Amino acid sequence: MKRRIILVVFALIISLYFFTKFRMNQSNPEVLRPLISTIENNIEFRDIDNVEISTANIAWHLDHMLKTINTLTESLENSNPSTYESSFNVPRIVSLTGGIIPRGRAQSPKSVRPPEIILTKDIHTQIVTAIKNIKKLQELDNNANFDHPIFGMLDKAQTIRFLEVHTMHHLKIITDILKSE
């Protein structure tokens, strides 16, 4: 009986390991394409806000999502794949496996913060760049990497998954702002 329990626990641990490995990684950047379409579809609502949901208006979230996609693609491009080191990181496992980023817990780095005045034409320009970056992501080395301030070093697949989760996080905020109208 004891042996059976140990085997079941061991099987659960192995299953959980493979599930998190699979769920935390997204090797196909095409998952970002429909999210970019959703960003584009929300441009018309750019000036709507609701401070009870977010201190930023929809334009801020749109610009931030696109800056994040484009900046991280550039970081991966400029990285040295030979420097990538895998590491254990609980917040990364929870966030990328669960597909969640808690609201209001972290501040965006300056490099991906929108400017004071967000122009619609700049959002459109960033969309064009993001679509080009999806193609670039496909061609990058699997060990291209980016050092996230909370999640540590992410390889290409983990970065794509982060971009997916991050973008969905902000699209959910936009949805909540629009529902409150």
- Domain containing residue 64: CATH number: 1.20.120
Asked if pLDDT for residue 32 goes beyond 70, the answer is yes
Residue-wise pLDDT for 111-169, tens only, equals 999 999 999 999 999 999 999 999 999 999 999 999 999 999 999 999 999 999 999 99
Residue-wise pLDDT for 3-24, tens only, equals 788 776 766 666 666 666 656 6
Tokens of 6: 């140990």
When divided into structural domains, the chain yields a total of 1
Of the pLDDT bands very low, low, confident and very high (cuts 50, 70, 90), residue 97 is confident
Owning domain of residue 125: 2-179
